[in-house]
Amino acid sequence: MGLVATVMVLLGCAGIGTGFLVLSAFQVGLPSVADLPNLGPPRNSYLLASNGTLLTVLHEPGEQHIHVNLNQVSPWVTKATVSVEDRHFYQNTSSVDLPRILESGIHDILHPSSLQGASTITEQLAKISFLTPDETITRKIRELLLGYEIARTFKPNQILQMYLNRIPYGNQAIGIGTAAELYFHIPASKLDLAQASMLAGIPDAPTAFDPLGYVGTTGPNYAKLRQQVVLQTMVTNHYITQAQADAAYREPLTYYSWEQGSPTLAPNFVAYAEQRLQARFGDAYLNPGGWTIYTSLNMADQQKAEGVIQNPANNARLLRDYNIGDAALVSLDPRDGEILAMVGTSNYNGPVGQVNMTIDPRRPGSTFKLFTYTAAIASGKFTMTTPVLNEPININGYSPQNYEHNFTGICQLQNCLGNSINIPAVKVEMITGLPNVVSMAERMGASEMLNPQNTYGPALTLGGLSIGLTELQIATGASVLASGGVLHQPTSILEVVSGSHIIYQYNVAHNSLQVVPPDVAFIMNAMLSNNNNRIQDFGPYAHLTLPGRPVSAKTGTSDKQNAAGQYSSNIEDNWTFGWTPQLVTGVWVGNPDGKTLNSVTSGISGAAPLWQVYMEKALAGQPVMWYPKPADVVQVGSGPYPYYYLPNTVTNAFSPVNCPPAYQSNWNGTC
């Protein structure tokens, strides 16, 4: 005997008085239906680029839901749904469809192997909102009682709207708005009779009546047969004529899947932005969801970055010539920290495409010298013209080597930096003080430097870190120099809106902290933008310049070091970071699995060409900008490349620094 029929028999046999006692017992512990409007499924949230382009839809795993009001639903949907699910819906005020229950009960008694349901739309709403799907008498009685309360509390159209938004339509689609967008790529208001009758038939058995399951098959199409049932009920209930039903049944329908309708734009950036959402809001963007999230991503810059980093022909050349199997790019606006482009891999669909190399820690190589030399200038111990001796040293058994394996004698600090010579960098680091260098790196955005597991020693300035830094962290450090010494933590989320309520809005003033004096940043930019400082090792026309535009740049490579931190010719990572006042870009090339590169001796042979092409494209049409000299910076000389000094350092501008005995040379006492 069917559950509904059983319930009716039990209540009938119990008599009126006893029946009320039975019903009262089942009412104990029932939830309040007053909460029903707030119990809808979690809604989809939408992640947008800065220009409004949809990047992706964020939702709970296994469910998608687009909420619609009843006036946003095609009338064909309501007619089809009421016809096939609850033909007395608008006449029934108690939620219990007695004729249908009696019909179902008789059917279940006579045909126990083919049970027939008798739940009204109101009862189904009660079940999916409050109850489990268990087929028990207790659950059915509770469903009847809740349905009765719902019918007393809400108007039919309110009930129908909640029902249409909560019923499953298969393929993760919860609600009619979701189903219309999924299967037909149209809003629910645009569904015609054929489409509406197909969708109205799905909830009864979402798997069996899934129209996508029959695309391209030759066997029985149960989704189509179910559509025919729906249409015939509409004829029976005088919503349509037989001719309309026949025409709707014959109408060819084209179906879509989520893969065809959901965008997959900038997947590495999307995953990063979702991490930031999770860190700030927890799961609220998924449940209850319904948020519109505007990000910092500049679609024009992102497309240019993908065109450079994910160019199959160029990537094949890099693999062939240098054994470079992957590349990554991140681009920031240093004026506010907004992430404009992020490409974490050269092939999203490749074997390591799910790893976002812009946020994967790697040893930074000589790019760390950005922090070392900034700390050195800020200390007042060094100027851009301080002489440093490029000769072998030994620090408690550590003897760094230059990549060129040569020793060129004295170089000015700006030339030591521009040519990225290792031995002078280690001297500058140790005289400035390792704690001071570490502190500067942390202030400039290398926030994991104090991680207890991240050990370092004299090799720090050459990138000798046990854990490493991410491309985004190094780009953040570069952006501090690009912004005149102001730290803006990298930002991906600009605004979060729920309905008409603004949940969050990015405020650049709250994300601005002066961590490097403006005069120090200016001098660093003067040194790093002077291509003459790089000619010795990089040549006059290296890929570190931009036509007609001043730009600061720093390269780096990381090598496989032995246990003593000694130099190896096996290079793992290759970096280039460069910036103007309006744009900072970092490029990494290498292999995520640590395979070494071939024929790569510096940043200009791997990452720099990619950096240069992107920067030229991204800055095209933008004004040429550079930094005004701070009032306290002392200028000596004229022309395009004068000398710049901090106050009170001009008198010792060309004097050697005090050199600890371990680093003393017999060359005039110069360190």
User: How, if at all, do strands 173-174 and 64-65 pair?
Assistant: parallel
Cα-trace Rg, the chain: 35
Query: Given CA atoms 262, 268, 270, 275 in this order, what sign does their dihedral have?
Result: positive
Residue 615 CA to residue 578 CA, distance in Å, equals: 9
Query: Can you tell me whether residue 391 is helix, strand or coil?
Result: coil
Alpha carbon separation from 304 to 126, 311, 330, 331, 609 (Å, rounded): 52, 11, 12, 11, 14
Query: For a pLDDT cut of 70, what percent of the chain falls above it?
Result: 85
Q: pLDDT per residue over 593-618, tens digit each?
A: 888 888 765 667 789 999 999 999 99
Q: Which of 389-403, 473-487, 634-648 has the highest mean pLDDT?
A: 473-487
Among 99-113, 141-155, 222-236, 287-301, the least confident range: 99-113
Q: What's the pLDDT at 493?
A: 98
Among 127-136, 363-372, 464-473, the least confident range: 127-136
Q: What's the pLDDT at 264?
A: 79
- The strand pairing partners of 293, in sequence order, are 47, 496
Average pLDDT, the chain: 87
Q: What's the pLDDT at 671?
A: 61
Structure tokens at 13: 């046999």
Domain ranges of the chain: 3-261, 319-341+361-490+513-663
Structure tokens at 331: 């681009």
Name the fold adopted by 319-341+361-490+513-663. Beta-lactamase (3.40.710)
Q: What's the pLDDT at 341?
A: 98
The H or E element spanning position 302 is helix 299-309
Of the two residues 605 and 43, the one the predictor is more confident about is 43
What proportions of the chain, in percent to the nearest 5, are helix, strand and coil? 45, 15, 40
Q: What's the pLDDT at 565?
A: 47
Name the fold adopted by 3-261. Penicillin binding protein transpeptidase fold (1.10.3810)
Q: Quickly state the pLDDT bin for 509 (edges 50, 70, 90).
A: very high
Residue 583 CA to residue 619 CA, distance in Å, equals: 8
Q: pLDDT per residue over 113-167, tens digit each?
A: 443 445 899 999 999 998 877 777 777 788 888 888 899 899 999 999 999 999 9
Residue 594 CA to residue 53 CA, distance in Å, equals: 36
Among 36-45, 48-57, 75-84, 652-661, the least confident range: 652-661
Q: Quickly state the pLDDT bin for 14 (edges 50, 70, 90).
A: very low
Q: Averaged over 374-387, what is the pLDDT?
A: 95
**DSSP character for 469?**
B
Q: pLDDT per residue over 553-564, tens digit each?
A: 999 998 865 544
